[in-house]
Amino acid sequence: MSTRKVSYFYDNEVGNHYYGPNHPMKPHRMRMTHDLVLNYGIYKKMQIFRPRKASELELTNFHSDDYINFLKLVTPDNMHDYSKQLVKFNVREDCPVFDGMYNFCQISSGGSIGCAVKVNSKESDVAINWAGGLHHAKKSEASGFCYTNDIVLSILELLKHHERVLYIDIDIHHGDGVEEAFYTTDRVMTVSFHKYGDYFPGTGDVKDIGADKGKYYSLNFPLKDGIDDESYQSIFRPIIRSVMDFYRPGAVVIQCGADSLTGDRLGCFNLTLRGHAQCIEFLKSFNVPLVVLGGGGYTIKNVARCWTYETSILVDSELKDELPYNDYLEYYGPEYRLHITPNNMENQNTKDYLEKLKIQLLENLRNLNHAPAAAHHDIPPDSFNYSDDEDDEDPDVRISEADRDKKVHHQGELSDSDEEDGRRNYSNGLEATSTSRRNQVSISAYDKERPSYNSRNNNNNNNNNNNNNNNNNNNSNNNNSHHHNEDADVDMDSG
């Protein structure tokens, strides 16, 4: 039986959001995941919380004031009044304006900040937010379906209590937004395993190692099409073991993008659920506080399978391969099984190629003489405390009949087929923007007391046809916070 204390953040409202017709990002996948978590009975082994919605003040700990203000104000009805800002902030095809967009950002970011608060307070050893992991968002720019970078916000919260935080990314796409934010600091190490080449976002070369105080604190393992479970673990385990030995993080954040699975609508890897989850299992063995976030994943029935299975790994629960009855059982036909099988695509990652890169990255790690230490400072207040929250989610509450009557159909969510456009820039290998200080965040600011916060709550490999329902459960209670002004171009300091 697991002795780890596990917290799980979920808001039923997140699945109501809809990016629009033909868009591959479907927040409904979080509802499907949660439904499997409930019906497998995994919820009995963890505490479930409804995340508080991130305030403007919290969001602007990383993002610029004008960008967050724009996200708050723009809607599909008034977007014609914001034509210049739409271009300036890159809110266009891949990142469209949709109903409830700001609310979606608040839920996603609030959950990831909440995970960090739980870990910081030692109330949890592991904290999960599958609605998080939106790793492409920049300081003043949406990118790759991501509007606010909940990961950066979560790491900033962790840095209040931990000298060093390790970020690991197993999404098929490079974690560029997180890497950029912490590129010049040694207090955060970023490690990304991703498809590289003519593929979004185009960043993440093995030669990208960080700069200034952050030199050698960014590790990138560029991969080719078709990597399988065995090959992936042959690089993941030795790299992460060495990182843990050299860097000795106080906490770890892992982004578990499920688009690295076999058969993903936008992906080109060949991992099974077991191969993907072995990364989680390996990290558990270090007994370091762990924040687990979602990310990409566009064959949504496999996303739900993956994150449910990984939740079970985190609570040491064995799941039957036969899926339990659930609200979306028909999506998983005709096999109605938890696990998926790899396809017969060629693995273009030869042993020689992987070994050469592994040696190069391990050599980079040896340039770290010792784990950096931050200067002593007073611990700033946590963003919020969930201990006495009367609105915490009851883990065994099922959707009521009244709420079922509020279900909404978004016709564009009825298909996962690759006849839809897919991630336009992801599939055409859009050239990446260079790492810039405008996208970085001040770490030195966390050596001073912060104000207390009070917020209320590419390549297609598979054709999948899913019938999706979207519940419309309104549980939100928003509270706007004041803006704070920060220099958008500040340099980072290790303290």
458 is a domain residue = no
b/e 319-333 (16+ beta carbons within 10 angstroms → b):
beeebeebbbeebbe
Task: Report the CATH number at residue 403.
Answer: 3.40.800.20
Whole-angstrom Cα distance, residue 268 to residue 378? Answer: 46
489 falls within a domain: no
288 against 426, higher pLDDT: 288
| H helical segments located in 98-210 | 101-120, 150-158, 176-181
Annotated binding residue 94: yes
| 77 assigned to a ligand binding site | no
* pLDDT for the residue 3: 80
> Residue 470: is its pLDDT beyond 60?
no
Q: Tell me what pLDDT residue 374 has.
A: 61
For 36, the token pair is 């499997």
Domain range for 367 is 6-447
φ and ψ at residue 6, rounded to 5 degrees: -115, 130
What's 213's DSSP letter?
Answer: G
Query: For residue 454, is it within any domain?
Result: no
Which of 369, 488, 363 lies closest to 437 in space, CA to CA? 488
What whole-number distance in Å separates Cα of residue 195 and Cα of residue 267? 9
User: Is the pLDDT score of 468 beyond 70?
Assistant: no
228-258 pLDDT, tens digit each: 999 999 999 999 999 999 999 999 999 999 9
Residue 403 among known ligand-binding residues: no
pLDDT in tens, 111-136: 999 999 999 999 999 999 999 999 99
238, burial (CB in 10 Å: exposed 0-12, middle 13-18, buried 19+): middle
Over range 80-107, report the average pLDDT: 98
**Mean local confidence (pLDDT), 160-186:** 98
Residue 379 is which amino acid?
I
Q: What is the pLDDT of residue 153?
A: 99
In a domain, 457, yes or no: no
- Helix, strand or coil for residue 243? helix
Judge whether residue 398 has pLDDT over 60.
no
Give the mean pLDDT of 194-200. 96
pLDDT (tens digit, 9 = 90+) per residue, 11-38? 999 999 999 999 999 999 999 999 999 9
Catalytic site positions: 136
Answer yes or no: is 495 within a domain.
no
| Average pLDDT value for residue range 461-472 | 42
pLDDT digits (tens, 9 = 90+) for 417-457: 443 333 334 333 343 444 444 567 655 444 433 333 233 33
Q: What is the mean pLDDT of the chain?
A: 84
If one counts the domains in the chain, the total is: 1
Comparison of pLDDT for 403 and 351, the residue scoring more? 351
Q: Which two structure tokens, joined as six digits, stand for 416?
A: 């996962």
- For residues 117 and 251, the answer to whether their CB atoms sit within 8 Å is no
Q: Determine what percent of the chain is predicted with pLDDT higher than 90.
A: 73
Residue 214 lies in a domain: yes
298 is in an annotated binding site: yes
Structure confidence at residue 409 as a pLDDT band (50, 70, 90): very low
DSSP state, residue 418: T
Is 259 assigned a ligand-binding role in the annotation? yes
Structural domain includes residue 189:
yes
- Give residue 484's pLDDT: 35
Quick check: is 78 in a domain?
Answer: yes
Residue 150's pLDDT is what? 99
Residue 311 has pLDDT above 70, yes or no: yes
The pLDDT score that the predictor gives to residue 382 is: 75
What is the per-residue pLDDT for 11?
Answer: 98
pTM of the shown model: 0.82
Q: Is residue 183 annotated as involved in ligand binding?
A: no
Within 13 Å and on the Cβ side, how many CA atoms surround 461? 22
